Amino acid sequence: MKCCIPICNIPIQCFSFMPEIEDARMYLCIEGKTALVIDPSLSEEAFVLLKQAGVEDVTVLLTHEHYDHISGVNRLCSSFNCNVVCTEICAKLIQDPRKNLSQYYRPQHIMLVEKKQISAFAQIQPFSCHADTCFSGQMKLHFSHHTLVLTETPGHSRGSLCAALDDQIVFTGDSLIPHTPVVTKLPGGSRQDYKIYTLPYLCSLPNDMWVLPGHFDGAPLKELLKEVKTYVTEG
Ligand SMILES: [Zn+2]
């Protein structure tokens, strides 16, 4: 567990997927017998925490279709009563190992890591999973006494969304990552879509919100907006 962020009476716990390589982030909130999980990875620690808390129902929110944000979906669905929520486009793409990039994941990462770490990836197979609830445009999602406003934000990928929690926190997936240019060059990515849909959305949020991104530590939205405007106009 990387950190624990107490906001609006809900502790948000954060877990890192392959911290030395890409540090993809999974977020978890437990409230009684229910939990909200954002971008589940294969975290044993998170899984044990859910079991120990006696959680029964889990809302699983996917910020987008890429493997490093969905690897734990099937594991959760096999153990809890899950409602997997994402955009309509994401719901289609997560079913296809080529579109969710799991097909290419192992070779890609073997190139990136030392030989001794290869065994850690040997278990990654072409992966697919399914959504239960999907939307296009915008959707409200209630968790405990909190409201998440989900908004489709294509640009990094076709199936991306951002989720604003009580106007205080925004989960941005890979649509906004601190100190990192937005990646729009993967299949389905579009710089033009990012400029048309995602950047205006981010600029429309109350700028005292806190960003919890898909990789690395969170940061104030105000700071990151300055960065992202530079990346988008320079590129
Ligand atoms: Zn991604």
Q: Domain ranges in the chain? A: 2-234
Output the average pLDDT for the chain.
87
pLDDT at res. 7? 54
Query: What's the CA gap between 86 and 39, in Å, rounded?
Result: 10
Helical H segments across 59-125, by residue range: 73-79, 88-93, 102-112
Res 121: pLDDT: 47
The answer to whether the Cα torsion of 127, 214, 149, 61 is positive or negative is positive
Over residues 189-210, the mean pLDDT reads 95
Given CA atoms 109, 110, 113, 116 in this order, what sign does their dihedral have?
positive
What is the C-alpha to C-alpha distance for residues 60 and 172, in angstroms, rounded to an integer? 15
For residue 33, the CA-to-ligand 1 centroid distance in Å is 30
Maximum pairwise Cα distance, the chain:
49
Find the radius of gyration of the CA atoms of the chain: 17
Q: How far is the CA of 174 from the centre of ligand 1 (A)?
A: 5
As a dihedral over the C-alpha atoms of residue 203, residue 141, residue 72, residue 32, rounded to 10 degrees, the angle is 120
Tell me: the pLDDT tens digits for 113-160?
Answer: 444 444 444 456 689 999 999 999 999 999 988 999 999 999 999 999
Measured in Å, residue 228 CA sits from the centre of ligand 1 at 16
Model confidence pLDDT, tens digit, residues 35-45: 999 999 988 89
Ligand 1 center–CA 19 separation, angstroms: 16
- Any bridge partners for residue 43, and if so which? none
Predicted confidence at residue 17, as pLDDT, reads 79
Go through 22-52 and write b for each residue having 16 or more CB atoms within 10 A of its CB, e for each that does not: ebbbbbbbbbeebbbbbbbbbbeebbebbee
For residue 64, the CA-to-ligand 1 centroid distance in Å is 7
Whether the Cβ atoms of residue 177 and residue 229 lie closer than 8 Å to each other = no
- pLDDT of residue 9 exceeding 90: no
Query: What average pLDDT does this structure show over 65-89?
Result: 96
Quote the pLDDT of residue 89.
Answer: 98
Q: Map residue 90 onto helix, strand or coil.
A: helix
Tell me if the domain spanning 2-234 has CATH number 3.20.20.140.
no
Closest CA to 34 of 64, 6, 66, 58: 58
Q: Residue 20: which pLDDT band, with cuts at 50, 70 and 90?
A: low
C-alpha 94 – ligand 1 centre gap (Å): 12
Q: What is the Å distance from ligand 1's center to 66 Cα?
A: 5
DSSP label of 119: G
Average pLDDT on 70-84 reads 95
> Distance from the CA of 156 to the center of ligand 1, in angstroms?
7
Report how far ligand 1's centroid is from the alpha carbon of 84 (Å): 18
Using the predicted structure, report yes or no on whether residue 10 has a pLDDT greater than 80: no
The residue with tokens 């990515």 is 189
Residue 145 DSSP label: T
Report the 10 Å Cβ neighbour count for 149: 16
Distance (angstroms) between ligand 1 centre and the Cα of 52 equals 30
Centre of ligand 1 to C-alpha 50, Å, is 25
Residue 122 pLDDT: 47
Structure-block tokens of residue 182: 């937005």
17 CA to centre of ligand 1 in angstroms: 13
How far is the centre of ligand 1, averaged over its atoms, from the C-alpha of 184 (Å)? 9
* pTM for the model: 0.90
Mean local confidence (pLDDT), 44-59: 95
Q: How far away, in angstroms, is 167 Cα from ligand 1 center?
A: 24
Asked whether 190 and 182 are in contact (CB, 8 A), the reply is no
pLDDT by residue (tens digit) across 210-222? 999 999 999 999 9
